[in-house]
Structure 1
Amino acid sequence: MSTQQTPLALALSKRKSDERATPLSAFRMARSWWLEGRRLNLSLLAEELGIGRATLMRWVGNKDLLMGEILWSLYKRIYDEAIARADQTPGLDGIDYLTQIYTDINVALINAKPMHDFLQAEPQWGLQLLTSRVSGLHERLMDTWRKMFDEQIKAGKINPEMDADSLALYIVKIGEGAIYCDLICARKPDPTPAATAFRLLVNGHQSN
């Protein structure tokens, strides 16, 4: 008696060479590797996907840009969750609203084991990806916070002495110094001073 071949069984039994890799599947596999603590090797990734390295490079651009997409996916999820928590907190407004979001993001990044492992294993490359323009991550962080500040300024919730562009630059830099440098040095970062600096910079004074 033959076993019934369901669509799932047939799909699982297909040879890897029969499967069609895509740029999205390449990203998903690379992200899965990174979350597992594996080093990102484009040659091995291309081999696992069953494609040529040239094809993979055409899809992702280069190793820095691919890693930038992976890091952004982590940050974007954390950012969206922090926004949702702040939106659900009764009475939270203005500088308190923004500070909670900023602190929640920093705490989540501090506690993100893949980020910790990555910076421990590849500190020089990791810091370059996180703090420079090579991966595109820095620009995305800047854009995210610039839009947030613009919305809050236009709504009359905050009245900072700096424009939104300048605020975004400096609060991102504060976060980089407060989190990544300590993680690289195997120290537990303290998000409290960064939150205080954020409040002073954005609000112009520290509330009681």
Structure 2
Amino acid sequence: MLSHAATNVNLTIEPEVDPVIALARRQFLRESRIDMGDLATAAGIGRATLYRRYGDRDRVLGEVLWAVTHAAWARLWQASSTRGIHRVIAVLDQAMRDTVASPALRALLERDPETALRVLTSQQGVVQHRLVTGLADLIRAERDDDEIPATKLAYAVVRLAESFCYSDVITGAPPDIDTATEIIRKLLT
């Protein structure tokens, strides 16, 4: 059973996704570039309306990447047989492995690495902010020690995960999830 705080993270159900973001997610998962004109047409709205309601392409891409990530975290959380902080670590480990293996994300990183990294790792974007917030909630729910505030710890873990998952784009070194997980384990336990 999830603790009350973990339930508030909304990892027990598949999150509802806005219909326009769902269309964009389908484009993304086909390893296609999200084209705002095509998206507006598919959604049955004008391009100006799309931009007014959803923002620019980076914002839409961020919403798509978050929808994919949140759904994956929910599945991993429900499937995990471990409990406590070890459950958080197990979910993070598998999420990082899935991220590195994602054909759609790999295609984005190869096609447009600067946009991908900006959308995935910027503090101004939706992805990193929601990852940190969600992870902080999980840490609070599963860890008694509050020596380091959960939000700061979550931020450090997310930045660490980003650097190891996207190291091929950032430094040219291959992603190293084993090392990332070991460091995260030491930070969280």
Backbone CA RMSD of aligned residues? 2.1
Matching of residue 45 in structure 1 with residue 39 in structure 2: yes
TM-score by length of 2: 0.82
AA partner of residue 47 (structure 2): R
Aligned to 1:7: none
Matching of residue 71 in structure 1 with residue 65 in structure 2: yes
Task: Report how far residue 170 of structure 1 moved.
Answer: 0.3
**Unpaired runs of at least 5, structure 1:** 1-22, 204-208
Task: Report how far residue 48 of structure 1 moved.
Answer: 4.1
Whether the aligned pair in 2 keeps the contact of 1:37 and 1:118 (CA below 8 Å) is yes
Local SS of the residue matching 1:39: coil
The C-alpha deviation readout for 1:116-173, integer Å capped at 9, x for no partner, is 11111110000000000343111100110110111123xx3xx364220111000000
Whether the aligned pair in 2 keeps the contact of 1:64 and 1:134 (CA below 8 Å) is no
Matching of residue 142 in structure 1 with residue 136 in structure 2: no
Match of 2:187 among 169, 186, 201: 201
Aligned to 1:102: 92
Local SS of the residue matching 2:53: helix
Matching of residue 33 in structure 1 with residue 27 in structure 2: yes
Matching of residue 151 in structure 1 with residue 145 in structure 2: no
Comparing 50-59 and 107-116, the one that deviates more: 50-59
| CA distance, structure 1, for counterparts of residue 173 and residue 106 of structure 2 | 10
Aligned to 2:8: none
Q: Aligned pair count?
A: 173
| CA distance, structure 2, for counterparts of residue 68 and residue 33 of structure 1 | 14
AA partner of residue 128 (structure 1): R
TM-score by length of 1: 0.75
| CA distance, structure 2, for counterparts of residue 54 and residue 80 of structure 1 | 33
Task: Report how far residue 174 of structure 1 moved.
Answer: 0.6
Whether the aligned pair in 2 keeps the contact of 1:46 and 1:53 (CA below 8 Å) is yes
Aligned to 2:75: 81
Greater relative contact order (CA < 8 Å, ≥ 6 in sequence): 2
Aligned to 2:155: 169
Aligned to 1:12: none
Task: Report how far residue 41 of structure 1 moved.
Answer: 2.0
Judged with a 3 Å threshold, the aligned counterparts in structure 2 of structure 1 residues 101 and 48 are, in CA distance, closer, same or farther, namely closer
Aligned to 2:52: 58
Matching of residue 181 in structure 1 with residue 177 in structure 2: no
Q: Which has the larger radius of gyration?
A: 1
**Unpaired runs of at least 5, structure 2:** 1-16
What is the percentage of aligned positions where both structures have the same residue? 25
| CA distance, structure 1, for counterparts of residue 76 and residue 134 of structure 2 | 13
Local SS of the residue matching 2:33: coil
Aligned to 2:11: none
